[in-house]
């Protein structure tokens, strides 16, 4: 793992985090400029629940691409350059590719976690840390049909926000692994780096064209934000399991291909 860490392009890692932080900081600056009400708290204004959806939409659409930048293409680059063949002389192929996958997951996880966490902490420094009220804060529109675990949001909002950051970060890690295991089969590096973003756009389009109006959303841009669009806990868990299972299956195929 130390070999892969030394191999990781730290500039791209920092750049991906910086872009996410810029979106979060920009959202704080805009909210401070337009002003916030006396009844606002960090949990009614932070990036994942902001009722002015521009920054939130931008961040969660960019999420798969940002998460994949640090290590999503690392395996493909090393296969193309021959560096992978040098590494596999020291480590068995299956274990080596697993280390690539772990590196991709961790970097994707951290790339998403840091901007969201710093955005929330920024609001904790600006606004009073009190619980949202389901009557006073009814204007933000947090209800059981658009927010998972809504009772937890009103009773323990900090825990709810931390769980949301964890969920988004896990998906960031999975998106990065998704790019990694697909990159073995795609020649163009930019095309392979964009596969997670393309997947998200396809799910967004499917969610828009499906004829059932009350169907829970299958798009990560809808169920990853704390204030989402028709999220459902069991469907979110199912989508997470499906993506993880796909990554595991493609990991096994990548191991076979790397041996050839």
Per-residue pLDDT of the chain (260 residues; tens, 9 = 90+): 677 787 888 899 999 999 999 999 988 888 887 777 677 788 888 888 865 658 888 899 999 999 999 988 888 888 888 888 888 788 888 888 888 999 999 999 999 999 999 999 999 998 888 888 777 666 666 766 667 788 888 889 999 999 999 999 999 999 999 999 998 888 888 888 889 999 998 888 887 776 555 667 778 888 888 876 665 677 788 889 999 999 988 888 877 765 54
Cβ 71 vs Cβ 7: under 8 Å: no
Tens digit of each residue's pLDDT (9 = 90 or more) over 88-128: 788 888 888 888 999 999 999 999 999 999 999 999 998 88
Looking at residue 229, what is its pLDDT? 64
Whether the predicted model's global pTM rises above the 0.75 cut: yes
Task: Determine the Cα–Cα distance for residues 78 and 86; give it in Å rounded to an integer.
Answer: 9
Looking at residue 51, what is its pLDDT? 59
Which residue in the block uniquely carries the two structure tokens 């961040």? Answer: 59
* Region for 212 from its dihedrals, namely left if φ exceeds 0, alpha if ψ lies in -120 to 50, beta otherwise: beta
Cβ 157 vs Cβ 131: under 8 Å: yes
Radius of gyration of the chain (CA): 20
Contacts of 121 (CB under 8 A, 6+ apart): none
Three-point CA angle 166, 236, 14, nearest 5°: 35
**Selection from 38, 10, 67 nearest residue 196 by Cα:** 67
Give me the sign of the Cα torsion angle 228, 230, 232, 236.
negative
Q: How far is CA 84 from CA 104, 106, 107, 195, in A?
A: 15, 20, 19, 22
How many residues would you count in the chain?
260
Looking at residue 17, what is its pLDDT? 95
Looking at residue 228, what is its pLDDT? 67
Task: Determine the Cα–Cα distance for residues 226 and 236; give it in Å rounded to an integer.
Answer: 12
Per domain, the residue ranges of the chain are 2-259
* Region for 35 from its dihedrals, namely left if φ exceeds 0, alpha if ψ lies in -120 to 50, beta otherwise: left
């Amino acid at each position: 793992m130390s070999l892969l860490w030394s191999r990781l392009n730290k500039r791209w890692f920092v750049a991906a985090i910086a872009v996410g932080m810029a979106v979060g900081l920009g959202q704080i600056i805009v909210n401070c400029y337009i002003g916030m009400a006396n009844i606002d708290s960090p949990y009614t204004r932070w990036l994942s629940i902001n009722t002015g959806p521009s920054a939130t939409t931008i961040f969660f659409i960019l999420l798969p691409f940002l998460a994949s930048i640090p290590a999503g293409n690392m395996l493909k680059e090393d296969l193309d350059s021959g560096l992978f063949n040098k590494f596999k002389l020291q480590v068995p192929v299956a274990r080596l590719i697993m280390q690539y996958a772990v590196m991709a997951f961790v970097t994707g996880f951290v790339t998403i976690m840091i901007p969201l966490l710093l955005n929330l902490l920024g609001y904790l420094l600006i606004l009073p840390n009190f619980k949202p009220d389901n009557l006073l804060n009814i204007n933000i529109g947090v209800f059981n049909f658009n927010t998972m675990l809504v009772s937890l949001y009103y009773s323990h909002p900090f825990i709810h926000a931390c769980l949301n950051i964890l969920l988004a970060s896990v998906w960031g890690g999975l998106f990065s692994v998704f790019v990694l295991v697909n990159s073995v089969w795609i020649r163009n590096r930019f095309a392979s780096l964009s596969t997670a973003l393309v997947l998200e756009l396809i799910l967004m389009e499917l969610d828009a064209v499906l004829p059932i109006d009350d169907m829970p959303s299958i798009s990560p841009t809808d169920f990853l934000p704390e204030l989402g669009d028709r999220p459902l806990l069991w469907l979110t868990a199912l989508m997470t399991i499906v993506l993880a299972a796909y990554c595991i299956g493609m990991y096994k195929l990548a191991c076979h291909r790397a041996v050839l």
